[in-house]
Every structure is written in C-alpha cells, then in structure tokens.
Amino acid sequence: MNNVLIIGGSRGIGAAAVRCFKENGDNVIFTYHKSEIEADALRQETGALPVRCDVKFSDSIKVAVDKAVSEMGKIDVLICNAGIADFNLITDISESRWEEVINTNLNGVFYAVRHVLPSMISRKSGCIIIVSSMWGEVGASCEVAYSASKAGVIGLTKALAKEVGPSGIRVNCISPGMIDTDMNAEVSDEAKAEIKDETPLGRTGSAEEVAAVMKFLASEDAAFVTGQVIGVDVPRLNGVGGGFHIRSSVAGRNPRLTIS
C-alpha cells in the first residue's frame, strides 16, 4: 500500500487517478484549485482527502504537502497532474497569460517536487510521476505556451531522474494523446477525427487508461523504469496533426479552459 499525493485530482485524468489508486488500496490525498464541488463529490465517492491548492505558488503547495504528510505519515508517490491550456496565436498571448501557463504547468511541478523530495531522499525511496502531453513532444500550432510548458516538464523529468536515481527515487513522465476530458471537450468533431486518423488505435483514450499507466509506474513492476516519457497511444504527428488540431478548433474553444 502506497501513500499517494496527486496534485490536480478533482477532474479528468486526476480524478481517474484518485479512483484508481483508492481501488488499489492506497491512501490518497489530492489537490484542487477551483473545482470544490467536484472535489467534494470525489471525496464522498472514494474517501480520498481533498486539499485546496494553487500550484502557481510554492507556499500553497507546501501547505498541501505538509497536510499529506500529517495525514499519511509520508508520501511514497507524487503525481503532478495540474495544468491549464491556452489556445492563442503567440502574438495574441499577453505576458501575464504566458506567465500563468508556465507558472501552473512547469513551475508548479518544480514546487511540488522540491517540497516532497527531501523526505524521499532521506528514506532513499519514492516515485514521482509527471503528466506532460503529446504537444510537449511535437508542439501544437496556436498552443505555444502550453507546448513549451509541457516540453519543459519532459526535460525536468529526464534530468531529475538522473539526479535522484542514486537516492532510489524513480521519476517518469506520461505523455497522453487525445484523451476524453474536460480540456478536450470543446475540440471540434472534425479535429478529433483527424487526431483519431493519426492514432494507431484509431480512437481517443480515456482518463482511466492514463491512470492505469500511473498505477503501473508506481508499482514494483516498474522498479527498474525511470527517466522515461511514456506515450499513452500518442500519435507521432511531427507537428502536422498538431497544426490541424488547432486551426480547425481554436475559434470554437475557450482560451481560458482549465483543469485541476
């Protein structure tokens, strides 16, 4: 049984992860930012404890980490899943919006890792799982901020795995393709069809399928897996499908759509 802290667990992939680890018999605490109703419903459903947290701020994450340690004794598995999307031409992104995306998607991971790592290092044991995106690998037109932030966490994963491997800590990254979540709810049917055509299995994925990969990475079955970027049926688009995805859907999408 592991003690699991999920940063960004009230909806989508995060909520699926909460359910998956609770069903596995693990202790789970998850954070949320604005989705209080969803977080409370998930608490009632699973028994997992929600903690409000704004990942843009280190002090807020420290409070969540301290709460998790207080409740569970230690953190065996850290999952960094919180993120926001932005759909704009780079010339239309304000500096404040750019900073918000980077602070949430990249700096938030740094803050969480920094606060959790000392106790993992002292125990010479731990598992960190970071959620990126296929756009962090191939880039997406009109999603420069999002793509840059998700590419950043891939680099963070690979470097951190080398840094903390001697302390017995594993660090891996999951790179989901098109997953049926709130973030992708407003993508046009035409755009989804194009992505499906580029996806080997010819369909979109589910949040539960991503959570299952998380469970594997946190298990002893993955004891020799670290520094990896694991695609969950990610189409290797080389930027072509990414461009179509945004051109065909950006006008109909909310540029401030968030997940937490």
**pLDDT of 138:** 84
**pLDDT of 188:** 67
Q: Which band of pLDDT confidence, cut at 50, 70 and 90, is reported for residue 260?
A: very low
**Residues in CB range of 54: below 8 A, 6 or more apart:** 33, 60
Q: Is the pTM of this model over 0.85?
A: yes
**pLDDT of 139:** 78
Q: Which of 148, 129, 125, 124 is nearest to 137 (CA)?
A: 148
The encoded tokens of residue 158 equal: 């690979």
The pLDDT tens digits of the residues spanning 11-53 come to: 999 999 999 999 999 999 999 999 999 999 999 999 999 999 9
Q: Pairing mode, if any, of strands 83-84 and 27-32?
A: unpaired
Q: Is pLDDT larger for residue 38 or for residue 195?
A: 38
**Residues in CB range of 36: below 8 A, 6 or more apart:** 52
Q: Is pLDDT larger for residue 90 or for residue 251?
A: 90
- The residues carrying an active-site annotation are 146
**Taking 50 as the threshold, does the pLDDT of residue 153 lie above it?**
yes
**pLDDT of 185:** 63
Q: Which band of pLDDT confidence, cut at 50, 70 and 90, is reported for residue 179?
A: confident
Provide the 3-class DSSP secondary structure of residue 128.
strand
**Among 89-93, 159-163, 166-170, 249-253, the least confident range:** 249-253
The encoded tokens of residue 174 equal: 């999951």
Average of per-residue pLDDT values in the chain: 88
Pair 199, 233: CB distance under 8 Å = yes
Q: Which band of pLDDT confidence, cut at 50, 70 and 90, is reported for residue 242?
A: very low
Fold of 3-259: Rossmann fold (3.40.50)
- Every domain of the chain and the residues it spans: 3-259
**pLDDT of 249:** 35
Mean pLDDT to the nearest integer, 92-119: 97
**Taking 70 as the threshold, does the pLDDT of residue 237 lie above it?**
no
- Give the angle subtended at the CA of 221 by the CAs of 216 and 224, to the nearest 5°: 105
The pLDDT tens digits of the residues spanning 220-235 come to: 999 999 999 998 876 6
The pLDDT tens digits of the residues spanning 42-94 come to: 999 999 999 999 999 999 999 999 999 999 999 999 999 999 988 889 999 99
Q: Which band of pLDDT confidence, cut at 50, 70 and 90, is reported for residue 137?
A: confident
Provide the 3-class DSSP secondary structure of residue 239.
coil
